[in-house]
Amino acid sequence: MSLETPVGAGGVVRQSRSTQRAAQRRRPLRRLTGADRAVVVAMIVVPTLFVIGLVWLPAIASVILSFTSWSGIGPISEIEFIGVENYVNVATIYPPFWPAVQHNLIWLVFVFVGPTVLGIFLAVLLDKEMRFSRFYQTALYVPVVLSLALVGFIWQLIYSRDQGLLNAVTGSNVDWYGDPNVNLWAVLFAFG
């Protein structure tokens, strides 16, 4: 397809679309005005300052203070550098430390592997135009939209030792959230 461009004295020059696009690409871009530049700078600088001030500085200060004996209360002049003594103490003196590390590793594996693999698998299945796919999509997406507090309330109704659905159906009296042998697995199942 060609376009006609008038050229003085009634003459017409035919240009193809590709020639026209090339001519448009050669035009210089419009320069930003001073106000536009100020807005762009503000949109970059203000959030960056917030992130640095509210996330990075406290995080770095926490790491630095972990090498001191300061309790966090009192003047900064009382800060005394003690090296890795706090880390040695937590690993040797504090008994719940290693089970907490183990639980965190289990959570890490579960959260990154389980839902990711299951989510991709379900997404592929739901992408195939099968019967009731809209119903399945809704059923899988509704828990994502629900508030975390509402989901916690629903799972409390299921896991409660006295009035929970799970204990009523199985006839047991397990404290799902209070028993350290099963609480991690109960929470993982509720989370998943």
- Compute the distance between CA of residue 83 and CA of residue 88 in angstroms, rounded to an integer: 10
- Compute the distance between CA of residue 96 and CA of residue 108 in angstroms, rounded to an integer: 18
| Predicted local distance difference test score (pLDDT) of residue 20 | 66
Comparing C-alpha atoms, which of 144, 169, 145 is closest to residue 157?
A: 169
Is residue 116 within 8 Å of residue 110, measured between CB atoms? no
The predicted-structure confidence for 131-171, as pLDDT tens digits, reads as follows 887 887 788 778 777 777 887 788 888 888 888 888 888 88
| Predicted local distance difference test score (pLDDT) of residue 85 | 93
| Predicted local distance difference test score (pLDDT) of residue 81 | 92
| Predicted local distance difference test score (pLDDT) of residue 45 | 96
Is residue 162 within 8 Å of residue 156, measured between CB atoms? no
- Cα-based distances in Å from 186 to 155, 182, 189: 10, 6, 5
- What residues contact 67, with CB distance under 8 A and at least 6 apart? 81, 82, 83, 84, 86
- Compute the distance between CA of residue 150 and CA of residue 182 in angstroms, rounded to an integer: 22
State which residues of the chain have pLDDT below 50. Answer: 2
Q: What is the 3-state secondary structure (H, E, C) of 50-64?
A: HHHHHHHHHHHHHHH
Is residue 67 within 8 Å of residue 83, measured between CB atoms? yes
Domain boundaries, the chain: 1-30, 32-94, 95-191
Global confidence as pTM: 0.53
